[in-house]
Amino acid sequence: MKLGQKAMEALKEEITGSLLEGDDLVVAGAIALQGTALLVKYERKILEKTFSGGFLYDAEKCRELYGINGSAPLRKETSGRKGKTAEEFLERYGFSKEVSERCHAVYAMGEGGVLCALWKMAEASGTGLEADLRKIPIRQETIEVCEKFDLDPYRLLSSGSVLLGTGRGRELAEAFNQRKIPAAVIGRAVKGNNRILYSGKITRFLDRPGQDEITKMPWGDKWKSRGLFPGQERKNTVWQD
């Protein structure tokens, strides 16, 4: 089912730029760090029965250590006066113009996690995509904490991670890694509307976003989306000066 005009306009306001067919999809910053930290904060007593204090400390602090927004926090950009673009986002991190000018789209992840980000960017850009879940940067702390509560980390709060569409994916990912920000090329934008996810021998289609996994927790109501999709209230997300 296609989005209506108003819904599509609202969705496009969340994305900086637009994917081009053939663009590499790059995830920068390990995913689900925000959700992991919240789970440790609210469920520490349960987690302490399984994990050491050091493990839980790292899990709670990993967003500061492995997220993209330690030096340039993401925020809502409402005026558009500064004309910030995907290219300027990379220039903020000191990337060369040769790399940054080939960056066509940026989405700051949040509610709904990386799968929500992938669907939104492809839908707003009018492209399909192919992505390998095994290539997405994710911390072991996140995997184990999510397993404890039977949550899907790919649909979990991911502030601190960014999805980018670029013609120079390998160079961009390497440049982020050199800055000690985990990053990887996880797939590419393709012609058509098919959005396909791979995980080993398993292949499936990417579904429209639902509620964030954190809303399954007894204290997770505050993260329930009031719009069509998770995080729709966050418009024109770019970065904070």
pLDDT value for 226: 66
pLDDT value for 213: 97
Tokens coding 235: 């418009």
Q: What is the pTM of this model?
A: 0.87
- Identify whether the C-beta of residue 172 lies closer than 8 Å to the C-beta of residue 166: yes
For 202, the 3-state DSSP assignment is strand
pLDDT value for 74: 36
Which positions ≥6 away from 119 have C-beta within 8 Å? 195, 206, 207, 208, 209
- Identify whether the C-beta of residue 181 lies closer than 8 Å to the C-beta of residue 29: yes
Spatial distance between the Cα atoms of 199 and 89, rounded to a whole number of angstroms: 30
pLDDT value for 227: 63
For residue 79, give Cα distances in angstroms to 88, 122, 162, 235.
16, 24, 21, 11
Domains of the chain plus CATH, in order, are: 15-74+85-217 (3.90.650.10)
Are β-strands 195-199 and 16-17 bridged in parallel, bridged antiparallel, or unpaired?
A: unpaired
- Identify whether the C-beta of residue 232 lies closer than 8 Å to the C-beta of residue 124: no
Spatial distance between the Cα atoms of 30 and 20, rounded to a whole number of angstroms: 24
Please name the helix (run of DSSP H) or strand (run of DSSP E) that holds residue 42, with its range, or none: helix 33-42
For residue 166, give Cα distances in angstroms to 8, 42, 144, 147.
22, 37, 31, 33
For 176, the 3-state DSSP assignment is helix
Instruction: Name the stretches of the chain with pLDDT < 50.
Output: 70-83, 235-241
Q: Most distant CA pair in the chain: distance in Å? A: 51
